[in-house]
């Protein structure tokens, strides 16, 4: 198999897999070393970017790759699929997402302690939307379920990893959430495309 065929194979695997996949798994399927797979993935990523393809290769920490439609074509893709527009995320849902993203893994009681109100229905909706997921149980009395954000959260917010989250106001490492609107994401009507001010 020549290099072009290997790149084609990676493209086919990423397309078929849909979710982010580790470079080591791709390398194993391709029967090459992980470093070689990463080199070929970067080549594929560059090729699709230069061609202004409707597809893009996304990188997620640590060393996971995914094929996705390029955001530029998102509206047209929605039209052809005739999907119903998602309801925008409420300020309360964004607040819960912030608590989880900046402190994960966290229990529902931790979220409620930070917010001061019951958050069970919001947590359920975020689970349903695939923006958060269960992350096992915490080593605390009662062994509460822990929650963490998903790859979908990173993709929707345009992040490669949690390290790309905007810093909180105040001292570095401060775990208190800011009330300022400077760190509040804007939401498009479909609730999918979010960007930080």
State residue 107's pLDDT score.
92
State residue 81's pLDDT score.
67
Tens-level pLDDT at each residue, the chain (197 residues)? 899 999 999 999 999 988 889 999 999 999 999 999 999 999 999 999 999 899 999 998 888 999 988 888 888 887 776 544 456 788 999 999 999 999 999 999 999 999 989 888 899 999 988 899 999 888 888 889 999 999 888 888 888 888 888 888 764 544 444 433 344 444 444 444 444 43
State residue 142's pLDDT score.
83
Q: How far apart are CA 157 and CA 84, in angstroms?
A: 20
Q: How far apart are CA 192 and CA 196, in angstroms?
A: 13
**DSSP state at residue 167:** P
**Sequential DSSP letters for 77-144:** HHHHHTPPPPPPPPHHHHHHHHHHHHH-SEEHHHHHHHHSS--HHHHHHHHHHTSEEEEEE-SSTT-P
Predicted TM-score (pTM) of this structure: 0.51
Non-local (6+) Cβ contacts of 191 within 8 A are 85, 86, 87, 88, 89
Phi-psi region of 153 (alpha: psi -120 to 50; beta: other; left: phi over 0): alpha
State residue 152's pLDDT score.
86
State residue 187's pLDDT score.
42
- pLDDT, tens digit, 9 for 90 and up, residues 71-109: 888 888 877 765 444 567 889 999 999 999 999 999 999
Helices (H) and strands (E) in the chain, counts: 8, 8
> Which residue has 């070393």 as its token pair?
33
State residue 181's pLDDT score.
39
User: How many angstroms separate the Cα of 68 from the Cα of each of 16, 27, 110?
Assistant: 11, 20, 34
State residue 6's pLDDT score.
93
The tokens describing 173, both together, are 């490492």
State residue 82's pLDDT score.
57
């Amino acid at each position: 198999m020549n290099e072009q065929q290997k790149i084609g194979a990676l493209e086919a695997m990423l397309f078929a897999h849909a979710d982010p996949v580790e470079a080591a798994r791709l390398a194993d399927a391709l029967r090459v070393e992980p470093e070689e797979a990463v080199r070929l993935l970067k080549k594929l990523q560059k090729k699709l970017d230069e061609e202004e393809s409707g597809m893009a290769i996304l990188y997620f920490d640590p060393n996971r790759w995914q094929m996705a439609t390029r955001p530029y074509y998102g509206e047209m893709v929605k039209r052809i699929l005739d999907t119903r527009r998602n309801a925008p995320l409420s300020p309360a849902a964004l607040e819960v997402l912030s608590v989880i993203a900046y402190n994960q893994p966290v229990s529902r009681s931790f979220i409620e302690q930070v917010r001061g109100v019951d958050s069970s229905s919001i947590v359920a909706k975020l689970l349903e939307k695939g923006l958060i997921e269960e992350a096992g149980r915490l080593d605390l009395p009662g062994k509460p379920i822990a929650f963490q954000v998903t790859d979908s959260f990173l993709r929707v917010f345009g992040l490669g990893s949690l390290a790309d989250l905007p810093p909180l106001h105040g001292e570095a490492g401060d775990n208190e959430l800011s009330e300022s609107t400077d760190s509040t994401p804007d939401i498009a009507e479909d609730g999918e495309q979010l960007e930080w001010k």
